Amino acid sequence: MSKAFTDNPLRIATPPEASRVLASGTGTDPVDVEIVLPVYNEERALPASVPLLHAFLNAEAAFSWRLTIADNASTDDTSAIGRRLAQSLPGVSYLRLEQKGRGRALKAAWGAGNARVLAYMDVDLATGLQALTPLVTPLLARDSELAIGSRLVSGARVQRSFRRALISLSYNLILRTALRALFSDAQCGFKAIRADVAAALLPEISDNDWFFDTELLVTAQRRGLRIHEVAVDWVEDPDSRVRVVPTALADLRGVLRLLRGGRGARQRARPQAHSPSFP
């Protein structure tokens, strides 16, 4: 891994319900980017995905990095596989939570990290890895506060079922209409955030499941933060753990909660005395 930037990242204490396994020699030194793979019952995907991503980072990453498997209460062999991978691959760690929820896993992993930029991607690696550097570079340069992969902007190449495409387009249209969202794709599992921004925003995010992404983006936009979008290549995983209809209904309930709880996302919230600034 390349030499880390000299900035000291903001570190938050590991939640008491989480336990971490570090690879031998990995250590806890600050890195430029921590990439989190939130997983639940992914015993089939982990053995191939993690070594593939690890090899890509070793070969291509121009920044120092750590890869964290964030296991939110898996009941299959995910735990054993994750621990073995963390013990055998330098730069990989395994974080175990005893409660379900992708948002909860990301809050725990990002909160325990000590990187300048905190990222995550889906374990199926549906998003092309070549988009990782364009995703994190504006954050390392402090040109943006958050960055998201988008399947709905010019230049994106997407392979997925008509049903999934229709649900995604409809959901993002709802966000633009109801919450005046300016970002194009709330649901793509490929996002990054500066650590100092995460420390300020995460305590404001209520959702611990799939709506976490949308709530994070809406909250950031309401505070006037810069969200960088990257066109991605994306291929649907037929073995995805996502239950599309229940997840969509939960997302709609989340939209209603945000709609009732504040002004539209296009309007910047009034500054508060305790609100930090993000240069």
Pick the closest to residue 62 from 155, 141, 143 (CA basis): 141
The vertex-126 CA angle with 121 and 132, nearest 5°, equals 50
Instruction: Tell me the two tokens of residue 161.
Output: 């079922």
> What type of residue sits at position 273?
A
Q: How far apart are CA 95 and CA 106, in angstroms?
A: 10
Using only C-alpha atoms, the chain has a radius of gyration, in whole angstroms, of 18
| φ, ψ of residue 222 in degrees (nearest 5) | -65, -25
| 77 is annotated as an active-site residue | no
Segment holding 18, helix H or strand E: strand 18-22
Chain-centroid distance of CA 175 in Å reads 19
For the chain, the distance separating the N- and C-terminal CA atoms, rounded to the nearest angstrom, is 27
Catalytic residue among 143, 213, 233, 251: 213
Q: How far apart are CA 27 and CA 148, in angstroms?
A: 28
Q: What are the residue numbers of the active site?
A: 213
